[in-house]
Amino acid sequence: MSESTEPDLRPLPAEAADLLRRAGAPPRLCAHLRAVHDVAVEIVEWVGREVDVDRAAVLFGAATHDIGKVRFPAELSGAGTEHEPAGQELLVALGVEPRLARFAALHGNWQRDGATLDELLVTLADKVWKGRREPGLEEQVAQVIADARGEPVWAVFMRLDDELTRIADGAEARLAFQSRFPTM
């Protein structure tokens, strides 16, 4: 991080940046997706040391999960879920495989049966980027990892908690970064 508290965020992947450009995404949405993607990189690097994860899919999902807000711009600054199915539809219309477009529709519904680790990680990045901690989500991620490793869930949760605390510590700078960009 620079002295001006500018976060040193990784750029969006070229494919995601192109999709956002083609969809007409406003600057605030692009900034948000860049911050979430950056956090997803950190999470995937940690989780990948614990268990197998589809790194490319998670990072694509994090970089595009809110693209449906192009169609529902009120949800850029307010609550709403209409952007979720709209995002999946938009991504598919732009030529994205349904297996990757699914993150747009599913990132807000992590409590459903059958949520995969990849889907949970996109949701987790979308929470932690702003310092929000969601205990039930974190417990679910820890459980999936513990099951895969044959470890007690508490042991995995402790390591995960340490990592998420470290990442969440940068939330203020990421929020300030996002707020500098206009919603339209």
In a domain, 8, yes or no: no
Q: How many domains does the chain have?
A: 1
Of 5-19, 36-50, 137-151, the poorest mean pLDDT is in 5-19
Give residue-wise pLDDT tens across range 110-164.
999 999 999 999 999 999 999 999 999 999 999 999 999 999 999 999 999 999 9
Give residue-wise pLDDT tens across range 61-110.
999 999 999 999 999 888 899 999 999 999 999 999 999 999 999 998 99
In a domain, 61, yes or no: yes
Residue 3 has pLDDT above 60, yes or no: no
> If you write DSSP's letter for every residue of 57-123 in order, what string do you get?
HHHHHHHHTTGGGGT-GGGGTS--STHHHHHHHHHHHTT--HHHHHHHHHTT-TTSTT--HHHHHHH
157 in Cβ contact with 139 (< 8 Å): yes
pTM equals 0.94
Q: What is the CATH number of the domain that holds 85?
A: 1.10.3210
Domain extent, residue 65, equals 14-179
